Amino acid sequence: MAKKSFDELNTSNVFEETIEAAAAETIPEPIPRQKRDELPTVEIVEQAREQGRTQGRKGCKAHRFNMAFSPKAYDFITCMARVRGETITAFVNHLIEKCIDDNQEIYQKALEFRDSL
* Residue type at 31 in one-letter notation: I
- 92 and 82, same domain (yes or no): yes
- 70 and 114, same domain (yes or no): yes
- At 6 the pLDDT is 63
- At 117 the pLDDT is 85
In a domain, residue 19? The reply is: no
- 71 and 54, same domain (yes or no): no
- 48 and 93, same domain (yes or no): no
Average pLDDT taken over every residue of the chain: 76
Domain count, the chain: 2
Domain that holds residue 44: 28-64
- 60 and 78, same domain (yes or no): no
pLDDT block averages, 10 residues each, the chain of length 117 = 65 64 64 63 67 58 81 93 87 89 91 90
The SS3 assignment for 59 reads coil
- 49 and 70, same domain (yes or no): no
- At 51 the pLDDT is 63
- 78 and 111, same domain (yes or no): yes
* Residue type at 2 in one-letter notation: A
Please say whether the beta carbons of 77 and 92 come within 8 A: yes
- 72 and 60, same domain (yes or no): no
**Hey, what's the torsion of the CAs at 12, 15, 16, 20, to 10 degrees?**
-160
